Amino acid sequence: MTATHSRLLAFGSAFPERVLTNHDLAQRIDTSDAWIRERTGIEQRRQLADGENNSDIAAAAAQAAMARAGIDASDIDLVLACTNTPDRWLPSLGAAVQARLGLRAGVPAYDIVTACAGWLAGLQTADALVRTGHHRHVLVIGSEALTRFVDWSDRNTCVLFGDGAGATIVAPAQADDGGVLIDVRLHSDGRYGDIMTLPAGGTAMPTTPEAATRRLNCIHMDGREVYAHAVRAMVEVSQEVLTRNGLTLGDVDW
């Protein structure tokens, strides 16, 4: 029977053991625990240790999701790795995780690069591929190693980012099954790309010693602009997805 819906079988997560607290950051830059908490609500973040990579936590999250779903590597027929911070630009993080998990040869694995919206983009892609019968067990991973691209002298950005990974298994379902995926909506607006960017490392500006000296291989962000546009856009897309499905805020309980 062709699936009419998809569902999320299980979730898994993983993060580095190293904890970086606000007090730790206050020893390195002009900030304080109170300043960070007041503006962000963040108390601590996880950071990859030397020798650890994004693929380590991505694979660990995937293994946790598979264990909770009661499936093994032989059941996975697609890997979607949603990240902006792969171990290397080539090959993809998805390919690295495929190898780490010991998936059978021929299972497609590729990356989706859409920053904070990455996991949702992966979920939407997995849902479409499952509904159309192309795949049955899609591993969707959202994993970032952002502390490797932080300017530790910039207190407005370095306090915000940490490292971690989450994963889920998307599988076929019928409408009357529990936990079906109802809808995913995504918006993009490339006009505002410069308010949060990592300038160096691409073809427009290859990484050079000069770029590194100018910290152009680190995240640059206009926090106020990002906040203003993000809040507006998230409200708009939330209202859109509710309206599309005949729901209101009163129907949402989590």
Q: Where along the chain do its domains lie?
A: 5-173, 190-251
Instruction: Kindly report, residue by residue over 54-100, the tens digit of the pLDDT.
Output: 999 999 999 999 999 999 999 999 999 999 999 999 999 999 999 99
- The enclosing H or E element of 138 equals strand 138-145
Task: Determine the Cα–Cα distance for residues 57 and 51; give it in Å rounded to an integer.
Answer: 12
Instruction: Kindly report, residue by residue over 54-64, the tens digit of the pLDDT.
Output: 999 999 999 99
pLDDT at 1: 52
Task: Determine the Cα–Cα distance for residues 144 and 14; give it in Å rounded to an integer.
Answer: 11
- Residue pointed to by tokens 């805020």: 249
Instruction: Kindly report, residue by residue over 160-215, the tens digit of the pLDDT.
Output: 999 999 999 999 998 788 789 999 999 999 999 999 999 999 999 999 999 999 99
Contact call for residues 223 and 156 (beta carbons, < 8 A): yes
* Tokens found for residue 155: 């207190």
* Tokens found for residue 92: 């993809």
Work out the number of other CB atoms within 10 angstroms of the CB of residue 212.
12
The reply to whether 5-173 and 190-251 are identical in fold is yes
- The enclosing H or E element of 88 equals none
CATH number assigned to the domain covering 190-251: 3.40.47.10
Residues of the chain with pLDDT > 70, as a percent, come to: 99
pLDDT at 2: 65
Instruction: Kindly report, residue by residue over 25-39, the tens digit of the pLDDT.
Output: 999 999 999 999 999
- Those residues with Cβ within 8 angstroms of residue 136's Cβ, 6 or more apart along the chain or in another chain: 75, 77, 130, 171, 172
Contact call for residues 11 and 68 (beta carbons, < 8 A): yes
* Tokens found for residue 26: 């206050």
Q: What is the dihedral of CA 186, 147, 49, 95, to 10 degrees?
A: 40
CATH superfamily label, 5-173: Thiolase/Chalcone synthase (3.40.47.10)
